[in-house]
Structure 1
Amino acid sequence: MDDRPTVPPASGAPSPPPRRRRWWLWALLIVIVLLIAYALLHRRAGTPAPGQQAGGGGGWHRNGGQNPDQPQPVTADTAKLGDMPIEITQIATVTPLATVTVRSLISGYLVKINFTEGQEVKRGDILAEIDPRLYQAALEQAQGTLAKDQASLKQAQVDLARYQLLGRQKSIQQQTIDDQTYTVQQYQGAVRYDLGQVAQAQTNLDYCHIRAPVDGRVGLRQVDLGNYITAGDTNGLVIETQLKPMSLIFAIPQSNIPTLMSRLGAGATLPVSAYNAADTAAIATDGAVSNVDTQVDTTTGTVKLRAMFPNTDEKLFPSAFANAHLLLDTLHDVLLVPTSAVQTGPSGLFVYLIKPDDTIEIRDVTTGPSGAGNTVIASGLASGDRVVTDGTDHLRAGTKITIPAAPKAADPNAQQHHTGHRHRSGGDQQPN
């Protein structure tokens, strides 16, 4: 046993500085941060996670989520020959052939109205009557004046004949004969004037009966019975509109004028259908082009057309807006593909052509008119060629494609039989 006393350390010995004790902690922290940043950057760049092979994962690919080596599912259709109707659709206005404001041509009190609002009338029907008594009196006065002047004319003519006889006998002077000749001519002029007065009075009397100018329908009455009306009334008595037949006025681009005039010149009938303002339902389908305007509107570059409709059901209402569908022509035996198959690229129009080995070829095409979901192919395809109509997002030249089969309708009887059989099998099964 050592009985030597323990010597305490000298109080003045130096201790390690605090900065040297902590520097390794900061270095470790920096290394950890760099490792985390490195792992995050490589994960964003697509580095496969541990345990996952590059390019594996059951066909998953970070470019679009699919493996480019797998066939791309698409929808396809076949180019085929058919007819393509060239139809022009334009906004139109329903325009009657005649809209007449029925006015009185004379002044007087309205004593009779012979129509009801909305009534169908014929040309010449008496719609209203004006008090005729003043005009009847004026006619009788004119007739009386005419009768008086006619009698004076006859008397003058008799005197002229007597004077001419005496003149041949040298019994009177020639001047007397000449004066009587002029007197006869004056009475002839008076009779002619009186005849005009009688005709005017008779016309005014006829105007007391206000007649329908055309076949059509009268609207709302503008004047009530008993009012004093004049020839200068702005509103008139009633407005009459001809409803049968009815016309549709619309404009087509001037580029279609050559085809239009060629068809009309050949005696063709160009059918026109009228649709509602929303262009969703047909109003009348039995119209045809009847007239073409004589000049192009320079502000719009269009020419106006009038199409006539029988309008027997009166569905075309005057001044209403509609959509005119003009069948300008029909192209027969042209190559058609669905419009959705035609794509637009930097070099123009093209289609995705499906080759016999189910790979894609990009084929440039020239198109013609379109309509009813189809487009005319002028060049670039042949009848029977298959083209892609849907699923073109990831297609490239040489891409392998597949066309999924259309799902078959399930047979409810077969499904019920299968379900019942399964239940029976499950119920009859005995545990081992």
Structure 2
Amino acid sequence: MPVVIQSVDPHSYGEKAGIKAGDTLLRVNGNSIADVLDYRFYITETKITLDLVDGKGTAYSARIKKGEYDDIGLEFETYLMDKQHTCKNKCIFCFVDQMPKGMRETLYVKDDDSRMSFLFGNYITLTNLTDEEISRIIKMRISPVNISVHTTDPALRVKMMANPRAASSLEYLKRLCDGRIKVNTQLVLCPGINDGPALEKTLEDLGRLYPNLQSIACVPVGLTRYREGLFPLRAYEKENAGQTIDVIDAFAARMEKKYGERVAYPSDEFFLKAQRPIPPAEYYGEFSQLENGVGLIALLKDEFESALRLDEESGCKGEFTIATGVGAYGLIRSLSEMVMAKHPGVKIEVWGIVNRFFGENITVAGLVTGRDIVAQLWGKRLGNKLLLPSVMLRHEQDRFLDNYTIKDIESQLGVPVKTVDNDGFMLYNAMTGRE
């Protein structure tokens, strides 16, 4: 697929070879370029020949010698070099389908792009892929690939994803593992549908793909209050959340005994719903599923306690407020008490923000909106600074899900705001006024 070059970095290999903005890239070393994966794969050679067409329609070639992984300085209109592949499923638990109207447009995009999985860690369902694309992934040694499995029962997967290809695409999972591609998987679990015996079967099926199948994250379905006309689902409660943890842990114990790794993990939210203690950091191995909320609390607590032990001072002062999701309230409150015990001059108030926007079933900090923060902290004594988890903001760190900005919060509540990453050392420093 010919791709127009938008710009060429100054002093780059591309500029030195005479390539200009507006030229069209056709091939690299004789290989056609379909997208960014092809481009990145073929430019790793130390000697490359690019076939191009200049802005006047004249064909020419550019030859470059470089280091194996050096970039050549070409920029394209989009990072992927073509359109992002969107999801063709209609999953019964899809969070995008549960979004209210009137939010920013990007929140309604259903991503299911294998390139985004490799480049940014997004999860894909495999239903968009072809035999040729699977072969390309294996040829290029693209690892890891993150896959939403949900169940290995073909008929149940079709039911849950409302896509006939959901059954046959499961074959790609085995093919990738057989091709020595590393795979991380996730299971969004819905009570009475793909948990219980169905979950036991899925775990056993996935376990047979170890070691190239590296990890399994088990996440409870998230239900907002915007579900009119959607598939009837219910949220996990204390009893069935605990039962689900037991199923996962039984499988994980067998894997650990056989291979030395647990492989399967319940997300932190399962432990919170079951009202069970979060396991210690050692439970989570290499923390391979942090983006799925697996081990976030344990890692944060472990890092925070290390920061506390290493702190030789005890005279910090300041008055701070922390707002977080209801699920993390207990942890953040206990960590703040550790700080106040060590630093008597520090006062910290912690608020668990109830999610009025999406509904009270949603308890994670990453889905708290700016308007809920303002409404629930209005008129409160907030001290010198308001600390917020950075996961509340989009990747650009400028807006909440409801388009509120940090400046909106500051102006309406009359207090400076600092966002803090999910890092125990950074949180400790923020609580003690050092950042």
TM-score normalised by L of structure 2: 0.17
Identify the structure with the greater helix proportion.
Answer: 2
Specify the structure having the higher radius of gyration (Cα). Answer: 1
Identify the structure with the greater strand proportion.
Answer: 1
Larger RCO (CA under 8 A, 6+ residues apart): 1
